[in-house]
Structure 1
Amino acid sequence: MGKSSSRATSALLAVLAGITAGVVAVLLTAVVILATEPSGSVRPGVQAAGVPSPAAPKPAPQTPRPSSTAASVKAFGDVRELPVGLVCRDLKQRGYGYAAAVEYWQVQAQPNRMDADRNGIPCEPEYTRTEVGKYWQGRKVSSLASVPDGLLCRDLAARGASYGEAVTYWWYAGMPARLDADGNGIPCEQVYPATVVQAFWRQ
């Protein structure tokens, strides 16, 4: 029994000695590796204590894409810097809305090149009837100063109003159905000659 216990103790001591030797060997290897590295160097994947991590590179700023529904219509009031001599189609091609076109016309002293029918409303063929109508609704232009409300197309024609003036009256009156019986957005077409109506709208 004594010999068996002594052998077990010897075997245990031998195992512990082996483990201790292995741990010492690993520690010595680590010390040698650290001693051979340059001062201040950091192994890949290891962050040195007290050294701030490098900031991640910032992504390059992206230029915002212009909105497509601007697309496009430029603000009222920025037409004063435009060159002299533009016509309505130039303004529309540059992205200006109808209100801006009217302002440009007014700034340029209301040139006839922008109001060919001389009805006091510029650029009506170039812009939609809805745009023009919304702008002029309730705004009585000088050519309508003495014209009463509630007239029909035949009344306007009997007063000698040109087709352009009839359209102006229709816009001012809020585009009423009494002046556009078929509701197609073209007033008084049954009263005035078709060639005059088509020339006005450039159909």
Structure 2
Amino acid sequence: MTLAVLAGVAVGGILVLLTWLIVLLTKEDSSRAANTQPPATAPPAAVATATVTETVAPKATPQPKPTASSAPSAAPAGMDVRTLPPGLFCRDLNAKGYSYVAAVEYWRLHGQPDQMDADRNGIPCETVYTRSAVAAYWNGREISGITFWPNGLYCRDLFARGASYGEAVRYWWYYGMPDRMDADKNGVPCETVYSAATVNDFWSP
């Protein structure tokens, strides 16, 4: 009876020891398994990307260039012949910088005074301003107050009709300075028909 008890106690003790051994081994395996797991991978750090915007300066708009066809002003900027006193001569207007167009305007404004048209051919200041400026103004433009003749005449025709040299010059300008009235093209028409004294007197300022 005693031996049976002892044997049971011994068997029970062995079972307890085995149980504890199994528990210890299980815990050790669990800890190893935990240690052998690969470390958790940290999420990749976010990389901040900067967007570079290239700033392009706007191109300057080219300014239009002045063209040769721009009409010249009749008088210097800020100057009007209507503000001038009466009694001036062509040379006075020219010295002040007024154009030929402005001189004609002044002449008409003050009643076409003879001091600006000594030969009374209806064309003022023709000996003071350049001949090209005078011709450009009167070419084909109506000239009032003077007997006029048709196109195509020669200097000798005008002379035969009793035209003064000043009227012959006016005729020449009016019809575009034709070469038939200025054969040598020196800008002085009818110089071989009218006397040299008359021609020189006309063109002397």
Verify same fold: TM over 0.5. Answer: yes
After TM superposition, the structure 1 stretch with the greater mean CA deviation from structure 2, 156-165 or 143-152, is 143-152
When residues 143 and 163 of structure 1 are mapped into structure 2, their CA distance, relative to the original with a 3 A threshold, is farther
**Aligned positions, number:** 133
Residues 144 and 86 of structure 1, relative CA distance in 2, 3 Å threshold: closer
Cα contact 2:122–2:146 (8 A) shared by 1:
no
1:184 to 167, 183, 186: 186
Q: What is the CA distance between 1:140 and its match in structure 2?
A: 2.8
Counterpart in 2 of 1:102?
A: 104
Separation of aligned partners in 2, 1:143 and 1:192: 23
Identity percentage of aligned residues: 62
Relative distance call for 1:77 and 1:120 in structure 2 (3 A) is farther
Give 1:98's aligned amino acid.
Answer: Y
Q: TM-score, normalised by structure 2?
A: 0.61
Q: Which runs of 5+ in 2 are unaligned?
A: 1-71
- Aligned partner of residue 89 in structure 1, secondary structure: helix
Question: Which letter maps to 2:184?
Answer: D
Contact 1:79 1:100 in 2 (8 A): yes
For 1:93 and 1:116, the matched residues in 2 are separated by 19
Amino acid at match of 2:137: Y
CA distance in 2, matches of 1:112, 1:153: 25
Question: What's the C-alpha RMSD, in Å, of the aligned pairs?
Answer: 2.2
Decide which structure has the larger Cα Rg and report it: 2
For 2:201, the equivalent position in structure 1 comes to 199
- Once the two structures are superposed, what CA deviation does each residue of 1:38-73 show, in whole Å capped at 9, x if it has no partner? xxxxxxxxxxxxxxxxxxxxxxxxxxxxxxxx9x96
> CA shift at 1:84, angstroms?
1.0
Equivalent-residue separation in structure 2 for 1:190 and 1:134 (angstroms): 24
Structure 1, unpaired ranges of 5+:
1-69
